[in-house]
Amino acid sequence: MHRSLQTWLLVAQRLGVALITLVIVSFAVFFATELLPGDVAEILLGQAATPEAVAGLREAMGLNEPAISRFLSWLSGLATGDMGRSYVNDIEVADLLGRRLSNSLRLAVVVTVICVPFALTCGIAAAMWKGSILDRLVSILTISVISIPEFMVATLAVLVFAVWLSWLPALSYGADASNFGALLKAYAMPVITLTCVVSAQMIRMTRAAVIETINTPYVEMALLKGASRRRMVLRHALPNALGPIANAVALSLSYLVGGVIIVETVFNYPGVAKLMVDAVATRDLPLIQSCAMVFCVSYLSLITLADVVATLSNPRLRK
């Protein structure tokens, strides 16, 4: 059909643009890394980095080639699906990244499954009954939750559930769980912390977006015509608010993939955020680049999805 062809074209165009963005990001990350003081040889030797030692190690690691040529060979390797080997420990980057990424994604999926329905329900309900006790309660609660630093929420959760009550483990490996109960226990703490942080934000954005569309004239018209408030919100306001909501959800989710460094640190969860921090600290170029690519791909695909949702949900954008 005509419409579906148009949609596909749109998606194809988005994908093309996303690919270009990726290349730009990889260049930007590469130059950013180059700007930082010290290279992998100096960092690895740490305090033992005498000029001779550094020179020897650079030679042995093949770092004497110009940085740009190392970058290009990494990029061309990537095109054939080869992410290269880590400078620091000579393990395949794909190997290193794969394990950590699957941990991160697992956590992100669990949090998403809990957060999104919960946050949307709360946000829409608060908007529907704007000004009510429920709305005020939701507003105050969400702001309070996000104003407490994440590391404080995490530490408090450990203190209460692990140290004082001994209900849950203080650490979370994720992968070690053997049965469903153990799995639930292993994930409980990071999920509790992240759900607090992420859903509070989503609730506020959903509420704001829905309220704004309630205020538009055609919704008011529908209301005047005698449509019930609930029906009005769900049938008329919500579809129009989908764009901004999808955007807010996408941003929160992309945060879950690469930005949960505090949760990874406090619960010792082996995710990809810590991997990136390590890679930057050791100037491990292939690993930094690959991590940046992963973050960027997840971010871009989420926001592209959000854009597509926004476009499809608003008939006037689909001309």
Q: Considering only residues 157-216, where is the footprint of another protein by CB under 8 A?
A: 158-159, 162-163, 166, 169-171, 201, 204-205, 207-209, 211-212, 214-216
Tell me, residue by residue from 139 to 158, as one string, x for binding to another protein by CB under 8 A and - for no binding.
xx--xx-xxxxxxx--xx-x
Q: Which is nearer to another protein, 76 or 144 (CB)?
A: 144
- Asked if 126 touches another protein (CB under 8 A), the answer is no
**What is the separation, in whole angstroms, between the first and last Cα of the chain?**
15
| Residue type at 215 in one-letter notation | N
- Asked if 123 touches another protein (CB under 8 A), the answer is no
- Asked if 280 touches another protein (CB under 8 A), the answer is yes
Q: What is the DSSP letter of 283?
A: T
Q: Is 289 exposed, middle or buried (0-12, 13-18, 19+ CB in 10 A)?
A: buried
Q: Are 93 and 275 in contact (CB under 8 A)?
A: no
Q: How far apart are CA 297 and CA 247, in angstroms?
A: 16
Q: Which is nearer to another protein, 12 or 281 (CB)?
A: 281
Q: Cβ 86 to another protein, closest distance in Å?
A: 6
Q: How far apart are CA 120 and CA 118, in angstroms?
A: 6
Helix (H), strand (E) counts: the chain? 14, 0
Residues from 38 through 77 that contact another protein (CB under 8 A)? 38, 41-50, 52-53, 55-57, 59-60
Q: How far apart are CA 155 and CA 75, in angstroms?
A: 40
- Asked if 6 touches another protein (CB under 8 A), the answer is no
- Asked if 228 touches another protein (CB under 8 A), the answer is no
Q: Which is nearer to another protein, 91 or 113 (CB)?
A: 91
Q: Cβ 113 to another protein, closest distance in Å?
A: 23
Q: Are 285 and 44 in contact (CB under 8 A)?
A: no
Q: For another protein, which stretch binds (CB under 8 A), given 65-73, 74-82, 116-124, 302-310?
A: 302-310
| CA neighbor of 116 nearest in space, from 315, 318, 305, 319 | 305
Q: Which is nearer to another protein, 183 or 277 (CB)?
A: 277
Q: Which is nearer to another protein, 81 or 217 (CB)?
A: 217
- Asked if 83 touches another protein (CB under 8 A), the answer is no
Q: Which is nearer to another protein, 76 or 216 (CB)?
A: 216
Q: Is 230 exposed, middle or buried (0-12, 13-18, 19+ CB in 10 A)?
A: exposed
